Amino acid sequence: MDKGFQLLPEQATRLAVEVDLLYYFLVGLSLFFSLLIFFLIYVFAVRYRRRSEDEAPMQIPGLLKLELAWTVIPFILVVIVFWWGASLYFKAYSAPPKDAMEIYVVGKQWMWYVQHPSGQREINQLHVPVGQAVKLTMATEDVIHSFYIPAFRIKKDVVPGRYTHLWFEATKTGVYHLFCAEYCGTKHSEMIGSVVVMEPAEFEKWLSGSESGETLASAGEKKFNQLGCGTCHARVPGARGPALVGLFGSSVKLADGRTVVADEAYLRESILNPGAKLVAGYNPLMPTFQGQINEAGLLQIMAYLKTLK
């Protein structure tokens, strides 16, 4: 941050290097063909200009090889750009490694609220270790926001009513800009923060030195009990709701015959709109908790449910 004028942001991930290579290739391609077209326009304008009023233009027959060349060459270049861009897109938004550190982020006018699994909470800052894959599970309390780290060349919209995911692996320590890249209201320009990339030992020291209180999962367990969820979801015969042990990531049979995966989106919908996907064998008795729990609390409950192996 604050390193004077830079044509492009610093490259702090491997993906950033690859994105910039594609960018340079596109710029070079554009410049080459722009200069070529201007040059040919000038040459043709001079060579084939009308020199007198009586001059009749000479008819030039078509040349099949030339027409094939200016059709095939652009086609090949377009295919290369498409393949390169698509491969980068899938690399950026593919599933993160299984050992990725999961951090929860909530966007709210006009701040980023970050929760670490061990309990640390941050506002407009995100501390991560270098060389470690980090998965962000993101939600918003109000309008659409967009989580954007220019030095990492990553950006993902955070949309109301759903979870979005983003992952990265920083390759260089330092402090990097964090922006909201989607207009979200009058103070959108003030919704800025920083990502602090630290050596693993320094990161562990930061974790142990910062105030954490209870872990994310324990906070979720407390909310789970405060809302009385265990009354119906007890793991006993005849319980009014399905058992939640081992639920996350498993397949759930619905009353309408469909089968869905119990991921974050399914659990969130089941808490806020229980009748949307009714589990087979159970009656629609669960009340909605819409308005009783915020997005940060929902993410805490998610963290708790993931521990119920």
Find, among 101, 107, 153, 121, the residue nearest to 219 by Cα: 121
145 touches 113 (CB < 8 A): no
Q: In terms of DSSP bridges, do strands 164-169 and 101-108 run parallel, antiparallel, or are they unpaired?
A: unpaired
To which residue do tokens 């922006």 refer? 179
The answer to pTM > 0.85 is no
DSSP of the chain, one letter per residue? ---S--SS----BHHHHHHHHHHHHHHHHHHHHHHHHHHHHHHHHHHT---STTPPPPP----HHHHHHHHHHHHHHHHHHHHHHHHHHHHHSSPPPTTPEEEEEEEETTEEEEE-TTS-EEESEEEEETT-EEEEEEEESSS-EEEEEGGGTEEEEE-TTS-EEEEEEB-S-EEEEEEE-S--STTGGG-EEEEEEE-HHHHHHHHHHS---S-HHHHHHHHHHHTTGGGTS-SSTT-SS---TT-TTSEEEBTTS-EEE--HHHHHHHHH-TTSSPBTT--S-PPP-TTTS-HHHHHHHHHHHHT--
Instruction: List the pLDDT tens digit at each of the 309 positions of the chain.
Output: 556 667 778 889 989 999 999 999 999 999 999 999 999 999 988 887 877 777 777 777 778 888 898 899 999 999 999 999 999 999 888 888 888 999 999 999 999 999 998 888 899 999 999 999 999 999 999 899 999 999 999 999 999 988 899 999 999 999 999 999 999 999 999 999 999 999 999 998 888 876 666 788 888 888 888 888 878 787 777 778 788 888 888 888 888 888 888 888 888 888 888 888 888 888 888 888 888 888 888 888 888 888 887
